Amino acid sequence: MNISVVSLLLYLILGPFAGGLLAGIDRKITARMQGRKGPSVLQPFYDLYKLFNKQSVVVNDLQDFLVAGFLVFIIFTGCLFFSGGDLLLVFFALTLAGIFFVMSACSASSPYGSMASQRELMQMMAYEPMVLLVAIGFYIVTGSFAVKDIIHFSNIPAVAYMPGIYLGFLWVLVIKFRKSPFDLSTTHHAHQEMVKGLTTELSGNILALVEVSHWYENVFLLGVVGLFFATSDWWSAIVVIVTVAISYFLEILVDNVFPRVKWDFMLKSTWIVTLVAGVINLMVISLIKLR
């Protein structure tokens, strides 16, 4: 069987389990950093089971449709990526999934949901340029947007050419993972002044679908991190696992060290990082390729 098909099936089947374990490990590490014992690493699965068994309070049918669209496009995004598809199309699908999520919050006519959706759109404005630079950077280095071509391009990992873009991507992942200091629209912490922001009006199995979507999304995003270190050599898989683990630990550390900031600081700082780390790195790569 083709390795791309195997990767796709593994993501489809094991993606939510890996995402749930990541959420459990995140909560355990966070608890240890705060001097607590913390829940079991399997606690996210227990929570998901309870959500599926609770009665859902349906605000409107449109909201359910939009949440389902969010899940479908997140899964499509990951499947396209792990099957070796076009990276630009992957990121466009991810953006479309985010739009579905924002629209689901707006459809509830809730003040908390409306405020959170506006903040979510602001966050998308902040991280989208950096995400686009990631795709462009891979294209300039490898000459292709296809994930399978990027992996087999060379024995040298792409991060050797794109250290600034890699660091910039880690910066915007703080937003995508919904971690402090950039957890403005919704968060797993108790400091959110908008109750639960985007998911305030969601309950029961609909909220469970959102959780599963985030688990799929987190696995995909860490897959993009691994792409920076992946090569055609078999042992690069070990390097990918180690670097992905370190990168995710850094995200958890930032989440527990920095307090939440205002939207304007988030927007300015992210664009500055995109300009300094991303654009300059891209210019350097272009100059090297022209020689």
* DSSP class per residue in the chain: --HHHHHHHHHHHHHHHHHHHHHHHHHHHHHHHTT-----TTHHHHHHHHHHHSPP--S-HHHHHHHHHHHHHHHHHHHHHHTT-BHHHHHHHHHHHHHHHHHHHHTTT-HHHHHHHHHHHHHHHHHHHHHHHHHHHHHHHHS--BHHHHHTS-SS-GGGT-HHHHHHHHHHHHHHTT-TTS--S--SSTT-TTTTGGGTT--HHHHHHHHHHHHHHHHHHHHHHHHTT--SSTTHHHHHHHHHHHHHHHHHHHHHHSPP--HHHHHHHHHHHIIIIIIHHHHHHHHHHH-
202-214: average pLDDT: 89
12-39: average pLDDT: 93
Given a cut of 90, whether residue 6 has pLDDT beyond it is no
For 38-69, write each residue's pLDDT tens digit: 889 999 999 999 988 887 776 777 888 899 99
Tokens coding 158:
């792409």
146-170: average pLDDT: 93
Residue 1: per-residue pLDDT = 56
Given a cut of 60, whether residue 95 has pLDDT beyond it is yes
Whether 116 and 198 have beta carbons less than 8 Å apart is answered as: yes
Whether 102 and 117 have beta carbons less than 8 Å apart is answered as: yes
Highest mean pLDDT among 147-156, 162-171, 183-192: 162-171
What's the length of the chain?
291
Given a cut of 90, whether residue 70 has pLDDT beyond it is yes
Whether 207 and 197 have beta carbons less than 8 Å apart is answered as: no
- Whether the model clears a pTM of 0.85, i.e. scores above it, the answer is yes
Residue type for position 2: N
Count of beta carbons in the 10 Å neighbourhood of residue 50 = 11
Q: Which residue has the higher pLDDT, 259 or 18?
A: 18
The rounded mean pLDDT for the chain is: 89
Residue 44: per-residue pLDDT = 93
Alpha carbon distance 167, 273 (integer Å): 9
Q: Which residues contact 148 (CB under 8 A, 6 or more apart)?
A: 4, 84
